[in-house]
Amino acid sequence: MAVSTKRTQGLADKHFHYCPGCTHGIIHRLVAEAIEELGVLEKTVGVCPVGCAVFAYDYFNCDMIEAAHGRAPAVATGVKRVLPESVVFTYQGDGDLAAIGTAETVHAAARGERITTIFVNNAVYGMTGGQMAPTTLLGQKTTTTPFGRQSSVAGYPLKVSEMVATIDGAAYVTRVAVNSPKNILRAKKAILKAFNVQLKGLGFSLVEVLSTCPTNWGLSPPEALRWVKEKMIPVYPLGDFKVPEDEV
């Protein structure tokens, strides 16, 4: 029997606006596939960030809300508390989630909010022109660290998964990457699991996905994949930081 890599119903039939080789597109597909496979597309409400994924409401084939920069977890909380039977996810960049949205993320976790957060860590502010993000690596050049990020001035990369894992209401916290087919498959599994944690009502789930920004890194897309492997993963090790107790 012939099988084909069918386009998921979880995505609307639109072209992405992302730069060539930007892995936001891969992550979109994985999230959409997971929602479709779980059969919850009709009861899903997605919340987009402000960041390059700001137009995600055009892409995901479900009801969508565009949140203010950093506030997606608060918006998602509002939705989920009104509609406890719905499936709610946020899709956020590292500026959105780890800088301006720090409090909203920490407290959605602390409340054990039954939502799923997809956290796209590309070590830079993509949309606004490549400024330093909280996750920018030491030494990394950005438009606001033109001489490379120096810890003495701009501090250290923030390890969101490690931090969120310390919070009691967080049920599932994991870090994956989409820099290779193998890692992409693993990322898919993690995203599926995160939604399952939500469906089981176990608490807050967060999947940190290491992603590329070839444009602002000044690299070709294939070089960018390599940069994830060689530079990012050593600082942001992949793996589970917290798994639900009934699943350890």
Partner 1 sequence: MERVLMKGNEAFGEGAVRAGCRHFFGYPITPQSELPHYLARRLPEVGGLYLQAESEVAAINMVYGAAAAGARVMTSSSSPGISLMQEGISYIACAELPCVVVNIMRGGPGLGNIAPSQADYFQAVKGGGHGDYRLPVLAPASIQEIIDLIVLAFDLADKYRNPVMVVGDGILGQMMEPVELGPAPEVTPPPKPWATTGTLGRKSRNVVNSLYIEPEELEKVNLRLQAKYKQVEQEEKRWEEYRADDAQVIIVAFGMVARIAKAVVDSMRMAGIPVGLIRPVTLYPFPDKPLAASASGAAKAFLVVEMNAGQMLEDVKLAVCGRKPVHFYGRTGGMVTSVAEVEGKVRDIWEGLK
Partner 2 sequence: MLEAVLLAGFGGQGILSTGMLLSYAGMEEGLHVSWIPSYGPEMRGGTANCAVTVSDAPISSPLVTEPTTLIAMNLPSLEKYETSVRPGGLILYNASLIYRLPERQDARVLGVKANEVAESIGNIRVAANVMLGAFIEVSQAISLKSALEALTKVLPPHRHKLIPANQKALQEGARIAREAGLVNSVNH
Partner 3 sequence: MPQVFFENERCKGCELCVTVCPKKIIALSAGEINSFGFHPAVLTDGTKCTGCGFCFLVCPDLAVTVVREEGGNGESTDEGE
Ligand X SMILES: Cc1ncc(C[n+]2csc(CCOP(=O)(O)OP(=O)(O)O)c2C)c(N)n1
Cα dihedral 99, 103, 107, 113 sign? negative
β-strand 170-177 against 239-242: which pairing, if any?
A: antiparallel
Cα dihedral 171, 99, 237, 192 sign? positive
Per-residue contact track with partner 2, 83 to 122, x per CB under 8 A?
----------------------------------------
The DSSP letter of residue 180 is S
Q: Judged by CB, which is closer to partner 2: 53, or 206? A: 53
Task: Tell me which residues in 145-174 interact with its own copies (CB under 8 A).
Answer: 151-152, 154-159, 162-163, 165-169
Q: Does 125 bind ligand X (CB under 6 A)?
A: yes
The answer to whether the beta carbons of residues 67 and 90 sit under 8 Å apart is yes
Which among partner 2, ligand SF4, Mg ion, none contacts residue 24 (Cβ within 5 to 8 A by kind)?
ligand SF4
Q: Judged by CB, which is closer to partner 1: 59, or 236? A: 59
Q: At what angle do helices 181-199 and 24-37 cross, to 10 degrees?
A: 40
The answer to whether the beta carbons of residues 171 and 207 sit under 8 Å apart is no
CA distance 128 to 49: 13
Q: Judged by CB, which is closer to its own copies: 201, or 222? A: 201
Chain centroid to CA 184: 13
The alpha carbons of the chain give a radius of gyration, in whole angstroms, of 17
The candidate with the shortest Cα–Cα distance to 176, out of 163, 165, 168, 185, is 185
Q: Judged by CB, which is closer to partner 3: 62, or 202? A: 62
Backbone angles phi, psi at 10, to 5 degrees: -70, -10
Stretch that binds ligand X, among 36-44, 126-134, 221-229, 234-242 (CB under 6 A): 126-134
Which among partner 2, partner 3, Mg ion, none contacts residue 220 (Cβ within 5 to 8 A by kind)?
partner 3
Burial of 221 (0-12, 13-18, 19+ CB in 10 A): middle
Q: Judged by CB, which is closer to its own copies: 63, or 162? A: 162
Q: How far is the CB of 94 from partner 1 (least distance, A)?
A: 12
List the beta strands (DSSP E) in 55-203. 63-66, 87-93, 116-121, 170-177
Q: How far is the CB of 8 from partner 3 (least distance, A)?
A: 9
Q: Does 54 bind partner 2 (CB under 8 A)?
A: yes
Q: Judged by CB, which is closer to partner 1: 54, or 219? A: 54
- Binding-site size for Mg ion (CB under 5 A) equals 4
Q: How far is the CB of 231 from partner 1 (least distance, A)?
A: 20
- Enumerate binding residues for partner 3 (CB under 8 A): 1-7, 11, 15-16, 18-26, 29, 180-185, 214, 220-222, 225
- Enumerate binding residues for ligand X (CB under 6 A): 49-53, 69, 93-96, 120, 122, 124-128, 133, 213
